[in-house]
Structure 1
Amino acid sequence: MPHAIVQQAQPALEFIPPDYQPWLHRLVKLVLPFLLRAQKIQRVEATGIEELAGLLAQFQARQVRLILAFRHPSTQAPLVLAHLLWKTIPTVARHNHIPLRSPVHSQFLYDRGIPIWAGQFTGWVLSKLGGIPIQRGKLDRTALKTARDRLVNGNFPLAIAPEGATNNHSEILSPLEPGIAQLAFWCCDDLAADDRAEAVVIVPIGLQYPFVNKQDWHAIDHLLTELEQDLNLSSLLPSSIDDPAARRYARLARLGLQMLTTFETFYREAYGQTLDPNPADPATASTAYPDFARRLQQLREVALSVAESHFNLPAKGSISDRCRRIEQAGWDRIYRDDLDQLSLVARGLADWNATEASIRMGHMRLVEHFAAVSGSYVREKPTIDRYAEVLTIMARAIAWTQGRSPQSVSKLSQRIAKLQIGQPINVSDRYLDYRQNRRSAIEQLTCDLTNRLEQSIQTSTH
């Protein structure tokens, strides 16, 4: 995620074509265990592998076209998915005598912004592994056309994170974007046009990151102390709170309120925003902490409106929709295809425009950090995993406001990456419904995929 202010207008963003290179695949496969350990992922566990291995064998036999729809709760998801495809599935296939040829791999959609904040080398690696970049805030016809072609004709399945972005919550599923359903039905269209009999199948893949040691609270308490210092809070609490678990939650709640207050003060003083201390909002009245939930929602609205007003954008749609719209508007002012035609004065103003756009996009980035935060996530289930997720969100938001990369926040402790392969969805069986009512079929497919990914969360946590 970007953390530095752009100072100058840049050349227009170019599409980075996928260019799969087997030699790089083999190299990254060799270093993958070290990359996982660097992310404090001790091991990868998966269930439902045999069925997925069988589907991959059918894909190689040109009997099905596959979309792997994986949960994306954190930035480690691509590494975990790579481990699943490159190591776990081939091993299971050999043990079960499933005829699966090497290499087992997938092409994948990724956010075009990743090479911007992670560097051109990252973009080069993603390209050479077969990645397809997409600009999420607009109709990216080149990316969609490429993804559609690879889904129909590619040598590997297509992996997509239907949530569109990370939410840093293993046990909360963000709303799914309908694009994955549309791609699946487009694939049905293209196969029918070519008189091909392959079935189009979507495989839901759940993903969570529980701690290895569920009783090791040292790292959690240490991070609590660090965040208290960042916000000038004393670690002392009223002596009446003597239970360790209650004291820990009281510290977390106080941190959350202090962060809210700090950001509210910023928007009042820097942008003259009015934050009503007691607006009537029946939607939050039944929550565990209605005041916190209300204030957080209000802060998100204020931050988005500061960006939207600058770009003359409407305040409509979901938080994700609004964030993507703001991002694209900012990119349109920063990355331009007319720089060579500008006079020196116009170029200076273009740089000024780009700097202002970058600053305004920062408000959207702040909202992204807290997009899935509810205020009751830990209270409902005060596990070490939920504490870690919420505290990491806070730590990354603070790092970002300080101009540091959010990814610089150290991982708390050793984790397990748990994958659950859900029941596949045969999209071809729904193709007739799609031909009769496209919108309804897309909505129903998106709903069913949502339910199956939700089931993966429920199964893993019970």
Structure 2
Amino acid sequence: MPHSIQQAQPPLEYIPQHFNLAVYHITKWALPVLMRFRTRPWLPAGIAEVETVNVERLVNLYQQFQAGKIRFLMAFRHPEVDDPLCMMYLLSQAVPKVARQRGILLQYPTHSHFIYDRGMTLWAGDWLGWFFSRLGGFPIHRGKRLDKVGMRTARDVFANGQLPISVAPEGATNGHSEIVSPLEPGVAHMGFWCVEDLLKANRTEEVFIVPICNQYRYINPSWAKLDWLLGKLEADCGLSVQQVGESNLVEREKVFYERLFRLGQHILSQMEQFYARFYHQSTPVTTQIDSSASRNQVLEARLQTVLDNSLQAAEQFFGLESQGTIIERCRRLESASWDDIHRKDLPNLHALSPMERGLADWIAEEASLRILHMRLVESFVAVTGTYVQQKPTFERFAETSLILFDVIARIKGEKNPARPRLGWRKSRLTVGEPISVTERWSAYQTSRQGARRAVNDMTQDLQMALEKMIC
């Protein structure tokens, strides 16, 4: 059975940032170990190497920031949960090294404040909130229409903090090193707010947003480990386990692709039947597709229909309309579930009568189960029917297989399952050309329509900058 919360919880308290230099020192010292053994201490198969590109751009920005000439925000790609570790390596190791090589003296530490999702502490534990706070992080409630405390903190830190700020504009991981999810407009808004706050204070700093792309590669791709993972997924789905056997590279890729495609078809069929029978959702997608469509196009259309059905199953429970993009719908659902589980209207749960507490627990458990539909959709948010077919590299096979592993683990009811490790990886961090927000201020302040257009243009330019750095 999927994991559920069985009791109503108190409201989620805001966790203010309290940067602590000692905690930063310890984390920086332990960083190489954390990158290699983050989730499974007994299995050395994490990040063994980090390559950095255009670090001198950050060196120059830090030099100007520390001289009081600029403010800047680092907007980094967030494909995997390991990205924050890679970002810390970039700032704490690569930036000081390049600065020394160029004879530039930077103040210590070269670090940043950062924003994280408040929900992370729900699955990782309260210790994570304490730890992030001491590293200079502060939370935002994803999906909340107006997180006043979080946004007020972000705005103040950007304009007045002793350190720059880092944000993942995609909002969540998508499991794909070579696909940038649609960016949320929050980063652009923050940039313009910072310009506005500086002008009100008669300050002259220029404001920049710096795109940073993170991409992963396997150092020594292990097709044998991938074969094992696909076999495990086939067994979990009740399919016969296929063997690759001895073959050349082209034939091997073809065999792996057919296995992956068969898994995708089987999972979709199971989910279609599940939603049709138990949630009364019809899936007539195959009758609406042109007969000339390829099997990949059919698969992708079926996937989108299942994702829509899954979100509707949750939206109907929470009384939400099915409007907006998949990501927007996911955020609204997450916020609605938190409202039912973490009861702001019941600040003292212990003061409730047994009956009142029973009803609160009842709705909390129902909400925690219904939101699992959204969690499944989150896993598939960037999946397409052609990602592997277009470029059948080991990395793309591995990424897609691990996404299927996450989905099946969720359905099986495993809580925070440790992903299989398929070998040592290399992270490639590329620092893009800084985008001046100050130069766009005149367009932003013209009117409400002009502000919306400026935010959209900034978001699109940032999206394109991140996409261009993928190689």
Aligned counterparts of 1:407 and 1:167: Cα–Cα separation in 2: 17
Q: Which residue of 1 aligns with 2:280?
A: 272
Amino acid at match of 1:17: P
2:260 is the counterpart of 1:252? yes
Amino acid at match of 1:178: P
Aligned counterparts of 1:343 and 1:206: Cα–Cα separation in 2: 53
Q: Which moved more, 1:396-405 or 1:111-120?
A: 396-405
Q: Which residue of 1 aligns with 2:271?
A: 263
Q: Which moved more, 1:258-267 or 1:228-237?
A: 228-237
Q: Which moved more, 1:376-385 or 1:247-256?
A: 247-256
2:225 is the counterpart of 1:225? no
Q: In the superposition, relative to structure 1, how do residues 425 and 354 fare at CA in structure 2: closer, same or farther (>3 Å)?
A: same
Aligned counterparts of 2:442 and 2:238: Cα–Cα separation in 1: 61
Post-superposition Cα deviations, 1:202-254, rounded to whole Å, max 9, x if no partner, equal: 1100011111124x311111111111111121134899x99322111111111
Aligned counterparts of 2:162 and 2:383: Cα–Cα separation in 1: 39
Q: Which residue of 2 aligns with 1:443?
A: 456
Q: Secondary structure at the match of 1:127?
A: helix
CA contact (8 A) 1:397 1:406 kept: no
Q: TM-score scaled by structure 2? A: 0.93
Q: Which residue of 1 aligns with 2:43?
A: none
Q: Which residue of 1 aligns with 2:31?
A: 32
Map residues 19-418 of structure 1 onto 2, 5 A cutoff.
19-39=18-38, 40-138=46-144, 139-214=146-221, 216-236=222-242, 243-280=251-288, 289-337=296-344, 338-340=346-348, 342-418=352-428
- The CA deviation at 1:127 is 0.8
Q: Secondary structure at the match of 2:109?
A: coil
- The CA deviation at 1:269 is 2.8
Q: Secondary structure at the match of 1:289?
A: helix
Q: Secondary structure at the match of 1:117?
A: helix
Q: In the superposition, relative to structure 1, how do residues 286 and 156 fare at CA in structure 2: closer, same or farther (>3 Å)?
A: farther
- The CA deviation at 1:281 is 5.0
Q: In the superposition, relative to structure 1, how do residues 151 and 281 fare at CA in structure 2: closer, same or farther (>3 Å)?
A: farther
Q: In the superposition, relative to structure 1, how do residues 285 and 155 fare at CA in structure 2: closer, same or farther (>3 Å)?
A: farther
CA contact (8 A) 1:303 1:364 kept: yes
Aligned counterparts of 1:85 and 1:413: Cα–Cα separation in 2: 25
CA contact (8 A) 2:143 2:332 kept: yes
Aligned counterparts of 2:464 and 2:98: Cα–Cα separation in 1: 27
CA contact (8 A) 1:399 1:409 kept: no
Aligned counterparts of 2:364 and 2:168: Cα–Cα separation in 1: 30
CA contact (8 A) 2:114 2:136 kept: yes
Aligned counterparts of 1:73 and 1:287: Cα–Cα separation in 2: 28
Aligned counterparts of 1:272 and 1:131: Cα–Cα separation in 2: 43
Aligned counterparts of 2:258 and 2:133: Cα–Cα separation in 1: 46
Aligned pair count reads 453
Aligned counterparts of 1:60 and 1:288: Cα–Cα separation in 2: 56
User: For structure 1, which runs of at least 5 residues remain unmatched after alignment?
Assistant: none
Aligned counterparts of 1:352 and 1:381: Cα–Cα separation in 2: 48
Aligned counterparts of 1:202 and 1:405: Cα–Cα separation in 2: 37
Aligned counterparts of 1:179 and 1:439: Cα–Cα separation in 2: 12
Aligned counterparts of 1:62 and 1:286: Cα–Cα separation in 2: 58
Q: In the superposition, relative to structure 1, how do residues 277 and 288 fare at CA in structure 2: closer, same or farther (>3 Å)?
A: closer
Aligned counterparts of 2:294 and 2:452: Cα–Cα separation in 1: 33
Q: Secondary structure at the match of 2:12?
A: coil
- The CA deviation at 1:346 is 1.5
Q: Which moved more, 1:335-344 or 1:79-88?
A: 335-344
Q: Secondary structure at the match of 1:205?
A: strand
Post-superposition Cα deviations, 1:325-346, rounded to whole Å, max 9, x if no partner, equal: 0000000000013153533211
CA contact (8 A) 2:78 2:214 kept: yes
- The CA deviation at 1:409 is 1.5
The list of structure 1 runs, each at least 4 consecutive aligned residues, that deviate by more than 6 angstroms after superposition, is none
Q: TM-score scaled by structure 1? A: 0.95
Identity over aligned pairs, percent: 43
Q: In the superposition, relative to structure 1, how do residues 295 and 158 fare at CA in structure 2: closer, same or farther (>3 Å)?
A: same
- The CA deviation at 1:416 is 0.3
Q: In the superposition, relative to structure 1, how do residues 193 and 236 fare at CA in structure 2: closer, same or farther (>3 Å)?
A: closer
Aligned counterparts of 1:404 and 1:238: Cα–Cα separation in 2: 28
Aligned counterparts of 2:190 and 2:252: Cα–Cα separation in 1: 50
Aligned counterparts of 2:429 and 2:289: Cα–Cα separation in 1: 38
Post-superposition Cα deviations, 1:404-447, rounded to whole Å, max 9, x if no partner, equal: 23451122111101001111101111111111121111111111
CA contact (8 A) 2:289 2:298 kept: no
Q: Secondary structure at the match of 1:416?
A: strand
- The CA deviation at 1:320 is 0.7
Q: Which residue of 1 aligns with 2:467?
A: 454
CA contact (8 A) 2:56 2:98 kept: yes
Post-superposition Cα deviations, 1:29-76, rounded to whole Å, max 9, x if no partner, equal: 111100101151011111000111110111111111010000000100
Aligned counterparts of 1:25 and 1:287: Cα–Cα separation in 2: 52
CA RMSD of aligned residues (A): 1.8
Q: Secondary structure at the match of 2:395?
A: helix
